[in-house]
Amino acid sequence: MLGKQGAGKGTQAALLTDRYGVEHVSTGDLFRAAAAEGTPAGLEAKEYMDAGELVPDDTVIKLVHEVFTGNFLERGFILDGFPRTLPQAKELDSVLGSEHPLDLVIDLEVPTAIVLDRIAGRRVCENCGATYHVNMPPKSNWTCDICGGRVVQRDDDTEEAVHRRLELYEQETRPVIEFYGELGILAAVDAVGEGDEVFERLVHEIDRRFDPTER
């Protein structure tokens, strides 16, 4: 699942994970968890994240190798925010091999003006990662509706970091989208609108490719 910051990757990946009963792997969430635990790799990643930079490929690839163990590939998965660079995409290709190629790459398309507005108002649960907006806060006192954790602004949602992330998206991630487009496994989905509308579009896009009853 690819898309600019604020396109709704995390929200939609969580909904799709429930719907299809697969694993949800968010490299951003894994880095945030490692930073909160204070591991050396987590603290190093946090410096890059807070500045709006990408975490270096070697670190990301190491993390992904740790996740892809056991029968993970057989269970099925949604990768959220990975790969973000061409070297990461090539590495993923070799990890998956010919037995488990990617079925589909979704690009959540949102104009920059909209993501800027979404990110400025974005608030997240520091415990479970659930996302809220200042216009749609949790029910009580910035306490997560799902787990009761504290709902806060992400450290990397500053204006400067957001602009840098958008710049890097065009430089580093746009070629990844083109790469998957050439492989014929890219689905660009309009991610403007309410979350449930976008979810419907995604389910439609997935089922029409993989669910024989939808063809």
| Among residues 11, 12, 27, 131, the one that binds ligand AMP under rule CB under 6 A | 27
Contact 52, 164 (CB under 8 A): yes
165 counts as catalytic: yes
209 counts as catalytic: no
Q: Is 122 in the site for ligand AMP (CB under 6 A)?
A: no
User: Residues 127 to 166: which contact ligand AMP by CB under 6 A?
Assistant: 156, 165
Pick 7 or 189: Cβ nearer ligand AMP: 7
> Based on C-alpha coordinates, what's the Rg of the chain?
17
9 counts as catalytic: yes
Question: Per the residue annotation, which of 4, 46, 118, 122 is the catalytic one?
Answer: 122
Question: Per the residue annotation, which of 84, 118, 123, 201 is the catalytic one?
Answer: 84
At residue 30's C-alpha, the angle toward residues 157 and 64, to 5°, is 125
DSSP state of 187: E
Contact 95, 42 (CB under 8 A): no
d(CA 112, CA 21): 31
Pick 63 or 202: Cβ nearer ligand AMP: 63
DSSP string, 112-148: HHHHHHHHHHEEEETTT--EEETTB--SBTTB-TTT-
Distances (CA, A) of 34 to 7, 44, 56, 141: 24, 10, 15, 27
Question: Per the residue annotation, which of 32, 118, 123, 154 is the catalytic one?
Answer: 154
At residue 10's C-alpha, the angle toward residues 200 and 97, to 5°, is 90
123 counts as catalytic: no
User: Residues 159 to 178: which contact ligand AMP by CB under 6 A?
Assistant: 165
Taking CB under 6 A as the binding criterion, the range among 24-32, 33-41, 67-75, 201-209 that sits at the site for ligand AMP is 24-32
| Among residues 1, 34, 82, 144, the one that binds ligand AMP under rule CB under 6 A | 82
CB of 207 to ligand AMP, least distance (A): 25
Which active-site residues does the annotation give? 9, 84, 122, 154, 165
Footprint of ligand AMP on this chain (CB under 6 A)? 5, 27-28, 31, 48-49, 53-55, 60, 81-84, 88, 156, 165
